[in-house]
A and B are shown apart, each in its own frame.
Chain A
Amino acid sequence: MTHLDTELKLLKNDILEMMNIVNGQLKKCKSAVLHFDKELAHEINANERRVNALELKIDRDCENILALFNPVAVDLRFVLACFKLSGDLERMGDNAQSIASYVLDLDHPLPEDMMSDLRLNEMFDNAIEMLDEVFDAFESEDTASSRKIFAKDKVLNEINHQSAKKVSELIKTNSEDIPTYLYLFSIIRKLERVGDLAKNTAEEIIFYVEAKVLKHRKKKNKKSNSK
């Protein structure tokens, strides 16, 4: 193993650790929201510092590798992908923290029937599965797994789209509990954002492994590339 290989392996381990922490944050978010667990929400807030610290470490390591080893080809793509992955993961962490702060702000649990009607549980599960798949895809450099993530993002987008209509109807019919609806809608928006960021990470993995750039492509092209 060359010196560069060792540095790249350490970088990969840091990204995997960051993915693990962010995934854990999201799982805790789910529990904190569904069970109205404020203690868990505090824990999520505290853990956010670890996510931020890892982002800074990964950024510095990428900078050092670029400056000292001048990587090329697959090594260069790997470092560039890691640089972007750390940013995306940090923003996922931010979204998890925002959801936790909503739990802390609320003075009563979110109504179960409302959560079920807005498919909040399904959304959490989808987002968590996406992160699981991102972890596996990155660890095993498996672009087929990366491509599965795109379909899950569509589910999140669709739930988010539906929820806007449902929440506006709820506000019209029951104007007394508007803050609750708004918190619920905000959580949904944050989870939708997590889905977008998970999709970005999948694209970065495909860029690193296959040297293909999928972002900003027309749907037609994307289809042919996702085969």
Chain B
Amino acid sequence: MSLVSVAKAIADKKLSSREVTQSCLDRIAQWQPRVNAFMAIEAEAALAAADAADAALAKGKNSGPLHGVPLAHKDMYYEAGKVVTCGSKIRRDFVATTTSTALQRLKDAGSIRLGSLQMVEFAYGPTGHNVHYGAVRNPWNVDHITGGSSSGSGSAVAARLTFAALGSDTGGSIRMPAHFCGVTGFKTTVGRVSRAGAMPLSQSLDTVGPLAQTVEDCALLLGLMAGADPEDPTASTLPVPDYVTATKGSLKGLKIGVPTAFYVDDLDSEVARVLDETIAVLKKEGAEIVKVELPDQRQLTAACQLVLATEATTFHKRWLIERPQDYGAQVLMRLQNGLAIPAVSYLEAMRWRGPALAAYFAAVTGTDAVIAPVAPMPAVTIAESDVGNSLDAEAVIQRITKFTRPVNYLGLPSLSIPAGFTKSGLPVGMQLIGRSFDEAGLLRIGAAFQRATDFHQRYPAWHE
């Protein structure tokens, strides 16, 4: 069941929150030893919260659109009184004293907490490896990566251990696990969702967003989380549209751009096939497909790296001095990279963001979205991508994230949708890249695609 359907079933008293929560806990007990998606499982507290939700509903008290729905989120969203590890050894015992705005808004809508989800150490890595807590595994094939850094979120949603999960996307960390694990993931426009109480990685690039089974699920969650927040002055004050209603529209009259270069170069043959098939579906559903010549995306990738590396290193500088031995080798290496970027280079990259975004908009004028692969390849194996801090590690990372980073640099929204499978049964996702704050437009396209396909409804089988 999707998030939207289970929330309705609970609200209509066709299912109790306890039944739903117990069902999630049963699946978690079965899958967790295999996929390592959870950081903490809080079964007793979850069932108590479910009973309270059922009791409230029996008295006619419905706390919101997520009443009694069990969820788990990436372990970087602060919740007062809870340990929030951020996937790290350094914060193994860190107890939050505040609750993140995004999380609080989902709690206010009635959701209950199953526990917390694994992630890459400090959200700084695209594969899902974690030397402190073990790699998260892809439920479609446990020898393969989930993608990161929202590794637990991708794995848990794919294995149907939670109905949805918060992730975060600074360089591709929602879209990557969505692509590799076969779920829907939504990287929002910078500023669309408050980042208050979310572990920072890069203040200019960090975004909060959901991973879920369907586009409609993402629309529901985004509508609950988006909007101004006094705790985060960078959160936009633009009005929040009705995202769920946006999912009902058709593709007729919409124009979708297909890049002529970069995003279509050097693709794995099966990713290229899925891209062609996705375009065919969009066309069949009524969209007009046009070619777009984008500005040099490699420059955007480079600028993104200059910004991200500098800002991440700045956040971590104190621990780099005091506790370098407590970082995993790869994360330490990547944080050290930021030490070698002159302030002038960083600020040039920041100054160029406006003109770069204007040039992108000029290139896509007249289109409603651009379609592109999330990554050039399906999920590689955990073994082959376990590059640690080797000399070629950054090159491997850059190859995996080459299609996501330009979007982060430009601060654009991007919706990753399950779009097909490889012959060996690994999922392949495609990203729809939109205009700033036009999340509604992407949800419309993504939902129409999901009405015409069933990739989002498939989930990995349990094999003894």
**A in complex with B:** no
